[in-house]
Structure 1
């Protein structure tokens, strides 16, 4: 006898705790049918393997006792904790005794005792499906089920494949993810930027790692920053910090630099780009006006990048080629 799922009319998403119990119920019924059909004296190893697989029902018992029952107790339904837990313990005793007889190859006694275990499990499943699960679905909230599912991870399941996450974690493109999460890292010694927090060390590491040369000139035309990349296109030294930008370029290009600064300051332009051949490499040089929220001029960023290899890219590359 295998029971039907009396809660089947309630459609639940994959990964929901009750849906996992349903999947296990199908598995258990299949194992019980296999066990009933086998003669342990003729197929001892197969019988023992099925018995061991069925014995993983212990995980189901533990999830109910340590996850489902406590949530039901919070809703003042203590019956399952008192009655069904005792039923679990009776089945545990039957498993233990039957195991000894299988291992002792006492096949006559195995054939006598196994039906009691099978019948006990079937009765338990019937009570779950007709009483426990329908009432649990009515009593517990979505928040309860989500919290319960997290706790089940540590106990595990009978299923050979890990159940899907619950609730299902759909992919959300970063541009559309507006969830405000609790920070999983310390903000001590960090600064808050438009989005996120970083320490001075992290900012320095970020700027050093970027494959770009960046120089920041403030609204007074003084160099206030440059990044120390591993392979800079144009050499820089600490001596340029505080220096007027016009003294940081070759005389032949100063006029162009000053023109850029003037137009940026007036607000007539916001970006200027150049590309040159330098030591056999193609270098892309860009200037960007920096403005605050009120559109006030706050300086200019000069960015240089070796784009030789980038320019040679063709087609697509979608696979990792490290191996």
Structure 2
């Protein structure tokens, strides 16, 4: 599973593919440890190795959210479909073992470790033979240089954070929300605005807010209602007349004191969230208030979110398949 390693060793320090191979070495070492340790005799040692191996989830997420989109840009969609499914199969193996770990069922653990370990080894082989060589052929140097910030947000399996690639010059760190670097995108940027992550037109923003399954009301730092979303199934009625109105006049007298206390605590910085739930016309309503602050932690208002959670509260077990047919 290291046939491509001679090429990788020639890559500069910090190159994303080189980092993937550093992780591959760690993964192979952990698999050997996993086979070597007996959970019956030393469960804690086994559990520690298992948990360290489970951080492979960071590797999966970097591939799915960082590498695969670039491959799609060049017309290679296979990894986004086949390899992502492979990741999900391994996630299921981890989930099964976590259940046996919680029971300390050493017999089941020993029986199931090979399914996980051999699956990971097959994945590493496919990466080595197909994924990374093809990615190196398709992606440009400029592409690889765009990976680091996103990779850092997701994280690595390694005990030490990899060196930035390309090496950082003496410039300040740029958080992704402030990264306005122009990149080639597969959609038009006409009439769009750049948000923390991505771009949307005002129409798309309005549609997003309208179709969210929650009622949203935004009160600014001056205690004035400046926005509410107009969904088809609002929990509480709203009308245009509340825009510009002081929040104290938007609630019934019996609850206004509580609302004002929430606003003042948020403004003072002593609290950030308040929530309530109650029965209303035969439905269970969940209301949350969130303090809004800018990047300098300055108070910018309150968002109130109301949601009918009646059906959500009735959920039991799990549903993993679509039942439309």
TM-score if structure 2 supplies the norm length? 0.51
Query: Per the alignment, in what secondary structure is the counterpart of residue 4 of structure 1?
Result: coil
Q: State the match for 2:138 in structure 1.
A: 139
- Alignment partners' CA distance in 1, 2:126 and 2:20: 13
1:79-90 equivalences under 5 Å are 79-90=78-89
1:183-202 equivalences under 5 Å are none
- Alignment partners' CA distance in 1, 2:49 and 2:126: 24
Aligned length: 173
- Alignment partners' CA distance in 2, 1:75 and 1:102: 42
Q: State the match for 2:59 in structure 1.
A: 60
1:78-227 equivalences under 5 Å are 78-169=77-168
- Alignment partners' CA distance in 1, 2:82 and 2:6: 24
Query: Per the alignment, in what secondary structure is the counterpart of residue 9 of structure 1?
Result: helix
Q: Answer whether contact 1:6 1:129 (CA < 8 A) is retained.
A: yes
Offset of residue 70 of structure 1: 0.2
Which segments of structure 1 move beyond 2 Å, counting only runs of 4 or more?
A: 7-10, 169-172
- Alignment partners' CA distance in 2, 1:118 and 1:8: 25
- Alignment partners' CA distance in 1, 2:170 and 2:65: 31
Matching of residue 39 in structure 1 with residue 38 in structure 2: yes
Query: Per the alignment, in what secondary structure is the counterpart of residue 2 of structure 2?
Result: coil
- Alignment partners' CA distance in 2, 1:4 and 1:135: 15
Q: After superposition, give the CA deviation of every residue in 1:3-59 in whole Å (9 maximum; x if it has no partner).
A: 325242241111111011010000000000000001100010000000000000000
User: What are the ranges of 5 or more consecutive residues in structure 1 without an aligned counterpart?
Assistant: 173-181, 184-323
- Alignment partners' CA distance in 2, 1:149 and 1:134: 19
Q: State the match for 2:4 in structure 1.
A: 6
- Alignment partners' CA distance in 1, 2:52 and 2:3: 22
- Alignment partners' CA distance in 2, 1:159 and 1:7: 18
Offset of residue 102 of structure 1: 1.8
- Alignment partners' CA distance in 2, 1:68 and 1:155: 12
Q: State the match for 2:70 in structure 1.
A: 71
- Alignment partners' CA distance in 1, 2:3 and 2:168: 27
- Alignment partners' CA distance in 1, 2:169 and 2:145: 15
User: What are the ranges of 5 or more consecutive residues in structure 2 without an aligned counterpart?
Assistant: 172-178, 181-325
- Alignment partners' CA distance in 2, 1:76 and 1:128: 18
Q: Answer whether contact 1:35 1:47 (CA < 8 A) is retained.
A: yes
CA RMSD of aligned residues (A): 2.0
Query: Per the alignment, in what secondary structure is the counterpart of residue 167 of structure 1?
Result: coil
- Alignment partners' CA distance in 2, 1:7 and 1:74: 25
Offset of residue 151 of structure 1: 1.4
Q: Answer whether contact 1:72 1:139 (CA < 8 A) is retained.
A: yes
Q: Answer whether contact 1:7 1:133 (CA < 8 A) is retained.
A: no
Q: After superposition, give the CA deviation of every residue in 1:230-249 in whole Å (9 maximum; x if it has no partner).
A: xxxxxxxxxxxxxxxxxxxx
- Alignment partners' CA distance in 2, 1:171 and 1:74: 31
The structure with the larger Rg is 1
Q: After superposition, give the CA deviation of every residue in 1:99-129 in whole Å (9 maximum; x if it has no partner).
A: 1112211111111110000000000000001
